[in-house]
Structure 1
Amino acid sequence: MPTTQQLQDFAQQVRRDIVRMVHAVKSGHPGGSLGCNEFLTVLYQEVMEYSTEFDMDGKNEDLFFLSNGHISPVFYSVLARSGFFPVEELATFRLLNTRLQGHPTTHDKLPGVRMASGSLGQGMSNAIGAAEAKKLNGDDKLVYSLHGDGELQEGQIWEAAMYAAGKNIDNYIATIDYNGQQIDGSTNDVLPMGDLKAKFEAFGWTVLDVEKGNDIDSIKAGLAEAKALTGKGKPVCVLLHTEMGNGIDFMMYTHAWHGKPPSDEQLAEALRQNPETLGDY
């Protein structure tokens, strides 16, 4: 298992990748990518059991579905640095004919990508289907998904949540990026979410809060607890309290960086705050 320092170094390099990718094409979504960086780092570097010899069946390995597909920069960086495809390919982000589209797609068969996402609300349904398939096949591995909190304003999420509990999909862990921000402002201003823990519990889920959602050790402990709660008849929801733009001080505490690239000067400052650890692409 990697040490906490190794995971922090990995996450720091991913931060550099995110801002460089978005800056290069003057397009993309750095805020949420930075906020979910530590989670995906821990998930792929420590928690999930998977093969980088990727196939869509995913038999006898844990599966991950990214529902809030606009945070593709962090997803691509973590996949590349976990060995799914060459790190150098990150330089093709959002270019014409690239496999690294602004929102993940499956038609180019990019290793690690199991669904086309970006149209919010669909990832939970996809993940539940995969989890049911594992049960039918006698496969004891788990299915994970990630969702934005603003995404929970989509009705399909709650249809899927009702189904997962009703059908005892207990080999499934859904994590919510609970940062309180979305493209048009705070979730409380756009459409208040209310008590998310109470809502998921009312739908029949087991719910955990990870208050320090950008802290490596807290994420490790939270996911370990979530994993221990699988197999008990209920799906598991992790409410991960994160900070949009985490790790770059001028991008934090605001929704402004949801979908805005940094200028040349801002990129330089972001990179100054996050020196190379694993080497730039």
Structure 2
Amino acid sequence: MGAINVGTAPDSWGVWFADDPQQTPWARFLDEVVAAGYRRIELGPYGYLPTDPQQLKAELDQRGLTMTAGTTFEQLHRPDGWESTWQGVAPTAELAAAMGAKHLVVMPSMWRDADGSIVEERLDHAGQAAHGKQVTELGRRVAEEFGVRLQYHPHADGHIDNQHTVERFLEETDPEQVSLCLDTGHISYCGGDNLELIRKYPSRIGYLHLKQVNPDVLAAIEGQELSFDQAIERGVMAEPPAGIPEFPPLLDELAALGVDLFAIVEQDMYPCPPEAPLPIAARTAAYLRSHGGGVSL
């Protein structure tokens, strides 16, 4: 059985941006991570946590925290997208690696804007193939230059989002260079099947984001063409174990892969009251700890 090593992320404290007065201050976030019972974090948006490696390492060490990954976006489907993508990838990967992280979580750019408007056409077959080659090259380069593994994160309203585009992406990328960050909430939000993806592509699962969707809210907003941001404002994300997918069968299936995985809890709720994140994070940690079966906090 593989170990499911659970941590959390700034996202669970309502943090989506490097600097926003609505967000939890970074020092409070780190303190509350520890109070909630976690020992692992992701970097979050580059610039939210201190970017000086010595300062950040000291802040983590004094709280007994380790970092699992950096997180960033890409625009590699665009003809001129490599330079802008690398400008975000390089500092994020460098800082994460300096903290001892071995992974870089990369997300697609959006075809739908936060206000619900369509900003780009979806990728066709040729576009998906070209995009896959570019992501493969990105994976090769971040491994070579920073020693981190590219974990690709499908994202609602992104060019890789639903079951079809995820499977197509896995076919168009080199497994030697690119693994899948399975975000359970985004897959469920987009109508996909997390268990099916694990069973069809067991060797591609390299990293996890654990979150759940409220099926009642999801059903109520169906057909309204809302953006993911607008759906979050309607309460589409659920505190475990109240939503879907159910975690116990999912965690059992993942543990049965026989490999150790990092699983980062995310509770999408930007913006949120400052007192809201800690109780949710603590309850979620307690729930996951009670599962057993390879789960380690």
TM surpasses 0.5: no
TM-score (norm: length of structure 1):
0.37
